[in-house]
Amino acid sequence: MRRILTTFFTVYLLLESLPFNRMTAAAQSGRQLELEPEAGSVVCPPGIYAFAPEGCLPLGPSEYLAQIAATGIPFPILPLPVYNPDPAYNDIPYQYFQINESGTPFYSSLDAAIAYQASGPHLYPSKHLYVSYLELVNSNEDTFYRLRSGNWIRAEGGRLARYPPFQGLLFSSTPRNAFGWILGEIQSRTAPGVNSPQSGITHRRFEVVQIYATQSANSLTWNLIGPGEWVDSRQISRVDPAIAPPEGVTGGRWIEVNLFEQTVTVYDDNRLSFATMVSTGVARFWTRPGLFQIHKKLESTTMSTSVPDDFYYLEDVPWTMYFDEDRALHGAYWHNFFGYAQSHGCVNMSLGDSHWLFDWANVGDPVYVYDPSGLTPLDPSAYGAGSP
């Protein structure tokens, strides 16, 4: 009997020392324990829990999702509601030839070109001399181009112009967060700041990324484009979808030109319908901020200036929509630097983008031009009539 009592007393002392009994005592005293029972508990299904649920622990995947949600990334991560425009918008009825910067003779006929008997107009030397041609002719191992103007040029006077195929995005609904295009090949960083470790993930020009949060570090602005991925904002041409029309716009239909981000966005029935990168005016030839209207549309036109130190000559500039004197939205076949300022005041677009916008836009449609950075002059005296 004594042995039985001794054994019972020993078991009692062991039970009293177990965490279960301490937990029971704590519960009886009214204290709330936040620790998981040592017997274990069920882990909650993956999700973001605003409050601790009963019957499971929000650990593991749920804990990770809560952490990234705190940075601004939603769960689940949804793709942008986008689709690509028809590639046929890139097709245009023009072929272009870039004349040498030193210029080249024009000839009145094929025979005159073969015989080097120059005639026709004289063009100032420039790196922006482009003509539109109708046919290519090979004769005596030489190549000649018949221009739409009726003149002829020799092939050694320049080279064929290859226009870029870049196109923007069409939207089935307005995105719930910002997005943008990567401007050049870069590696993201694991946190804001130039000294933060690189993520090992490379992003390339024209890649579309979503932007979930913005922070400042090292006097720079950084964009969160994915879990643990931050990119210097200067490397992204960003779009923040408008939540309301600009002041003075009625009817739910307008075009926005963001001079700082170098983007054009199109709104129809008060929702984002189209977005792309563009090239607006460089310093001294700024694109003027303000609210304008498309006042003329031309399927093609020749644009030029006679200023000797800044001469250019561009034939058959396609899909042109004038909105502020001589400033226009139009196709640009002579460069592929969309996302960077390049023009003399016009809004340069890729051929496919300008074609799509030309088909969508009507004379009278509002064009809202703005610079959220405030760097573009607002003084009307800083602007002339404008040009490409």
The CA distance from 148 to 270, in Å, is 42
Give the pLDDT score at 51: 77
pLDDT tens by residue, 119-137: 866 676 777 889 999 999 9
% the chain with pLDDT above 70? 88
User: How many residues are there in the chain?
Assistant: 388
**Range from 88-92, 99-103, 108-112, 229-233 carrying the lowest mean pLDDT:** 99-103
pLDDT tens by residue, 153-195: 999 989 888 776 899 999 999 999 999 999 999 999 999 999 9
Cα distances (angstroms) measured from residue 249 to each of 245, 325, 364, 372: 6, 20, 11, 18
Give the pLDDT score at 13: 40
Average pLDDT over residues 255-259: 98
Spatial neighbors of 295 by CB under 8 A, at least 6 apart, are: 322, 323, 363, 364
Q: Which residue has the higher pLDDT, 102 or 95?
A: 95
pLDDT band at 311 (very low <50, low <70, confident <90, very high): confident
Torsion angles phi and psi, residue 276, rounded to 5: -160, 170
Cα distances (angstroms) measured from residue 106 to each of 18, 112, 113, 157: 100, 9, 8, 9
Spatial neighbors of 365 by CB under 8 A, at least 6 apart, are: 253, 254, 255, 293, 294
